[in-house]
Structures are given as structure tokens and as C-alpha cells.
Amino acid sequence: MTRPYNGNSADLRLTKVRLAKVRFLIGDTNKKESSLSNEEIELFLNEEKSDNMAAAKAGEALAAKLIALNEYEKAQQLRKTCKELRDKARRSALPGGI
């Protein structure tokens, strides 16, 4: 579900920056073994206006994968991070938000 390249290099750079931000926020930064594909993260970025909310959704997807691998502690910590990201996104969306 990669967005088609429309010839605008600024759009491509912005997409790469947003992908990197989401990966950083959820701790999916191992380039050799990314847990989520770029396409999966782009799906959340396309659904959400806020990078933090997109990261929360991506983090929940990653937590589900961790549970399937019996990585319960990592999944629990990631879900806590997701809640914090959601809260931050909601606060920012309020008038005069932080």
C-alpha cells in the first residue's frame, strides 16, 4: 500500500521522515529486522493526522506480534508507550493543546 511516487521529492522525504519517526517512537529501529513493514506503517500514517496516533496504532500492531512470539513483557511495555502516545496526540488536538 505504498503511496505512488508523484515526482515530488519533498513528499518522498516527508514520508521517509514520518516513517522514521513512527519507528523511533515504537522502538522498531533495527534496520536488518524491522518488525513492521513500511507499508504497514504507511497504512497507519494515512489513517491518522497525528504521527503520535499513527505510532500508537503501529505499536499496538507490533505488540500483537510480540504476544504471538511469547514476548509478553515487551508487549506490555509497548502498550504502555502506545497509551502515552495516544494521550499526547489527544492533548495536542485540543484547542491550545500542548
Give the pLDDT confidence of 7-61 residue by residue, as tens digits: 567 777 888 999 999 999 999 998 888 899 999 999 999 999 999 999 999 999 9
Which amino acid is it at 23? R
d(CA 86, CA 53): 5
pTM attached to this predicted model: 0.82
d(CA 72, CA 51): 25
Q: CA 16 from chain center: how many Å?
A: 12
Whether the per-residue pLDDT at 93 is higher than 90: the answer is no
